[in-house]
């Protein structure tokens, strides 16, 4: 069964030692469970008689043993995160300590929550829809400020509103056709096909517009995957160090599937760049001699951007020709480096081979770095990042549903062109309606809901 309203508990705060840690208890008996292992300083106070959004100070106890000092925050159904009765036990945040307190709570009648179960209950309780539930996870897992802002907008319902608007448009047309078929005296289908054609075309372009944001959505979520390429000594590490400089945001070590790779993440004018496999980049420099085509191609495969660094104080050679060949059809920024020393490079040779913006820099003095940043902003997100009214598709499931819906709408257009009868058109219109509905989680199959919530971490 999807929904069990038994009482659940989990540590809601991070898995490292901190000043404060929170254990969340939710469910029909949350207040009783808390009372069994909590003694208020004021002996007249009980959790069960505490009104919602009030806190009680006291001790968490295991029988007669005092486990920790704590504040219990009481929220009553339906005015809580899960829409159920909730108690948040705020105590000291040592991980061992928190686990022991959780054990006591479990001993007193709660069961440990499954990953994502609190948010699942919020969804099943009707407080949030599935896109909002997904945005909670995105927000928790956001790796940069932009991604967090994007998911916050989604949590406010920006995407759901847009999808609802498109769906109601589709449904209105289906309803009209059905009415006309039932009641031809009052509803006419004369000339309706032409009108419908235009409307479906408009709807399809709305869907495509949303789909068009998916690419940017992915970059917001994951950062722009950037590879820095160039011959040995061109100045790749010097450039990276300049870029990281004071802006060094996070250095993440992500365990790759086959080996450990290091990824540097840096925010450039508010745009998250994920510089891929910096360790590997050092090796890929000597493309022709050492590693051959495959490795270089591999690192370029998933790149959103390639920064090609050329040493301006040296003449170009066959290796450069080779790199340029690899860069065909890629998004590239060419940096002519070392402009603080005498220049011998033949830039026209480069421009004859790749079409890409070229900027002169000195990785040593930092000259030209600002121009590089400006170019980057021009290249991505149409030169500006704004969340005022823009909805970004950041989720693969949403992207697939939108693609399916668009295919259905295209089929409606094909059918109208082929002169198919109106009742036939409703089949694909309804299909589009339902596909869009899966984004909102309308009557989602148990499998879908379970899959989404299982990606959450414990305590969420």
Binding site for ligand GDP (CB under 6 A): 230, 232-238, 337-338, 340-341, 362-364
Q: 299 CB contacts (<8 Å, ≥6 apart)?
A: 227, 229, 276, 277, 280, 281, 284
∠ CA(125), CA(109), CA(458), 5° rounding? 55
Sign of CA dihedral 237, 238, 243, 249: positive
Q: How far is the CB of 88 from ligand GDP (least distance, A)?
A: 50
Name which of 87 and 281 has its Cβ closer to ligand GDP.
281
Q: How far apart are CA 263 and CA 152, in angstroms?
A: 26
**DSSP codes of every residue in 270-315:** TEEEEE--HHHHHHHTTIIIIIHHHHHHHHHHT-SEEEEEEETTS-
Q: How far apart are CA 362 and CA 268, in angstroms?
A: 18
Q: How far is the CB of 391 from ligand GDP (least distance, A)?
A: 40
Q: How far apart are CA 28 and CA 341, in angstroms?
A: 74
Q: How far is the CB of 361 from ligand GDP (least distance, A)?
A: 7
- Give the pair of three-digit tokens for residue 144: 């940069």
Name which of 75 and 234 has its Cβ closer to ligand GDP.
234
Residue 122 phi, psi dihedral angles, 5° rounding: -60, -40
Label residue 259 left, alpha or beta by phi (over 0 means left) and psi (-120 to 50 means alpha). Answer: beta
Q: What dihedral do alpha carbons 416, 422, 425, 430 form, nearest 10°?
A: 150
Name which of 347 and 364 has its Cβ closer to ligand GDP.
364
Name which of 337 and 408 has its Cβ closer to ligand GDP.
337
Name which of 25 and 234 has its Cβ closer to ligand GDP.
234
Contact in structure between 170 and 203 (CB atoms under 8 Å): yes
Q: How far apart are CA 135 and CA 149, in angstroms?
A: 10
Name which of 58 and 230 has its Cβ closer to ligand GDP.
230
* Beta partners for residue 272, in sequence order: 267
Beta-sheet strands, E only, within 5-105: 8-11, 18-26, 38-40, 54-62, 65-75, 86-93
Name which of 362 and 435 has its Cβ closer to ligand GDP.
362
- Per-residue CA distances from 339 to 230, 233, 332, 355 (Å): 16, 14, 20, 21
Name which of 27 and 280 has its Cβ closer to ligand GDP.
280
Q: How far is the CB of 312 from ligand GDP (least distance, A)?
A: 8
Q: How far is the CB of 365 from ligand GDP (least distance, A)?
A: 7
Q: How far is the CB of 277 from ligand GDP (least distance, A)?
A: 14
Q: How far is the CB of 340 from ligand GDP (least distance, A)?
A: 5
Name which of 310 and 449 has its Cβ closer to ligand GDP.
310
Q: How far is the CB of 330 from ligand GDP (least distance, A)?
A: 19
Q: How far is the CB of 232 from ligand GDP (least distance, A)?
A: 5
């Amino acid at each position: 069964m999807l929904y069990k309203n038994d009482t659940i508990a989990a540590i809601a705060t991070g898995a490292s030692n901190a000043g404060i840690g929170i254990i969340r208890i939710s469910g029909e008996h949350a207040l009783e469970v808390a009372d069994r292992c909590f003694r208020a300083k004021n002996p007249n106070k009980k959790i069960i008689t505490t009104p919602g959004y009030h806190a009680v100070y006291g001790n968490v106890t295991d029988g007669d043993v005092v486990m920790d000092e704590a504040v219990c925050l009481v929220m009553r159904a339906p005015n809580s995160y899960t829409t159920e009765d909730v108690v948040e036990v705020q105590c000291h945040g040592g991980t061992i300590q928190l686990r022991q307190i959780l054990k006591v709570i479990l001993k007193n009648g709660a069961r440990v929550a499954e990953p994502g179960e609190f948010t699942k209950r919020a969804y099943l309780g009707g407080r949030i829809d599935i896109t909002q539930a997904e945005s909670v996870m995105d927000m928790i897992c956001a790796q940069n400020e932009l991604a967090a802002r994007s998911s916050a907008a989604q949590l406010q319902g920006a995407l759901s509103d847009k999808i609802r608007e498109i769906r109601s448009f589709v449904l209105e047309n289906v309803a009209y056709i059905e009415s006309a078929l039932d009641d031809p005296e009052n509803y006419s289908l004369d000339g309706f096909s032409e009108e419908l054609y235009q409307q479906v075309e408009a709807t399809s372009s709305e869907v495509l517009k949303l789909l068009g944001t998916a690419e940017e959505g992915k970059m917001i979520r994951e950062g722009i995957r950037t590879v820095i390429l160039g011959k040995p000594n061109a100045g790749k590490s010097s450039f990276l160090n300049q870029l990281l400089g004071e802006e060094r945001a996070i250095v993440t070590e992500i365990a790759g599937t086959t080996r450990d790779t290091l990824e540097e993440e840096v925010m450039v004018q508010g745009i998250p760049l994920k510089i891929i496999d910096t360790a590997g980049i050092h090796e890929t420099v000597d493309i022709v001699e050492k590693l051959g085509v495959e490795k270089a191609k591999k690192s370029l495969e998933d790149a959103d951007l390639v920064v090609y660094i050329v040493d301006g104080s040296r003449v170009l050679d066959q290796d450069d020709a080779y790199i340029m060949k690899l860069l065909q059809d890629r998004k590239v920024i060419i940096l002519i480096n070392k402009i603080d020393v005498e220049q011998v490079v033949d830039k026209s040779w480069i421009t004859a081979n790749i079409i890409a913006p070229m900027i002169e820099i000195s990785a040593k003095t930092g000259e030209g770095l600002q121009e590089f940043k400006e170019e980057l902003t021009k290249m991505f997100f149409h030169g500006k990042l704004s969340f005022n009214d823009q909805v970004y598709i950041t989720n693969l499931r949403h992207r697939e549903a939108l693609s399916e819906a668009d295919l259905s709408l295209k089929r409606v257009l094909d059918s109208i062109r082929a002169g198919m009868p109106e009742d036939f058109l409703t089949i694909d219109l309804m299909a589009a309606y339902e596909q869009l509905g899966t984004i909102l989680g309308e009557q989602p199959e148990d499998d879908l809901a379970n899959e989404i919530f299982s990606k959450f971490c414990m305590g969420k």
